[in-house]
Amino acid sequence: MWWRISRREFEEQQGEGNRAAMKIIVDSGEIPGLLFYLDGKAVAWCSIAPRENYNSLNRSRVLKKLDDTPVWSLVCFYVEKANRHRGLLHEMLHGAIEYVKNQGGKIIEAYPTIPKGDPLPPVSSYMGLPSMFETAGFVEVARPSKSKVIMRYFIE
């Protein structure tokens, strides 16, 4: 919910309120992201949708819209702790590309964090790292701050 609502709303509905808000989105038929299953259990998630679905992203001064091209935004990854460092992010990224392709999308935009030496804590890397996206074929299109890069994947 972080990118879908204002920071104030996110804080006010912390926990159960945000879960309830996500349930409303899912119950409406909108797909807010993708789940990754391992042995029948959901162990990872990525949030991907058309950029206009992310109100807070659209208000961001750093990650502002680059142009009028319609893009799908990939804003968040989560892998449960027991399944980290197993390559699931790469599999999820490829699944997200296929999903957007099947939805008729032409461009996926991502907003990874540029590491500055020490490994980033999970809270700082939930949007991914540039190297992960480069490996999947994303290209840098903007560097709006010292810590953020905007990357795009062009679907053929």
Residues 145, 95: one domain?
A: yes
Q: Among candidates 15, 74, 87, 82, which has minimal Cα distance to 43?
A: 82
Phi, psi (deg, nearest 5) at residue 9: -60, -40
pLDDT for 55: 80
Residues 1, 41: one domain?
A: no
Secondary structure in 3-state letters for 17-39: HHHHHHHHHHHCCCCCCEEEEEC
Residues 134, 117: one domain?
A: yes
State how many domains the chain has.
Answer: 2
User: In the chain, what percentage of residues exceed pLDDT 90?
Assistant: 40
Residues 70, 134: one domain?
A: yes
pLDDT for 139: 97
Q: Is the pLDDT of residue 120 over 70?
A: no
Q: Which domain holds residue 11?
A: 1-30
pLDDT for 1: 55
Q: Is the pLDDT of residue 123 over 60?
A: no
Residues 48, 114: one domain?
A: yes
Q: In angstroms, rounded to a whole number, what is the distance separating the alpha carbons of residues 126 and 109?
A: 15
Phi, psi (deg, nearest 5) at residue 15: 80, -115
The arithmetic mean of pLDDT across residues 105-119, rounded, is: 87
* pLDDT tens-digit map of 43-102: 998 999 999 988 888 888 899 999 999 999 999 888 888 888 888 888 899 999 999 999
The arithmetic mean of pLDDT across residues 10-26, rounded, is: 73
User: In the chain, what percentage of residues exceed pLDDT 70?
Assistant: 87
Average pLDDT, the chain: 85
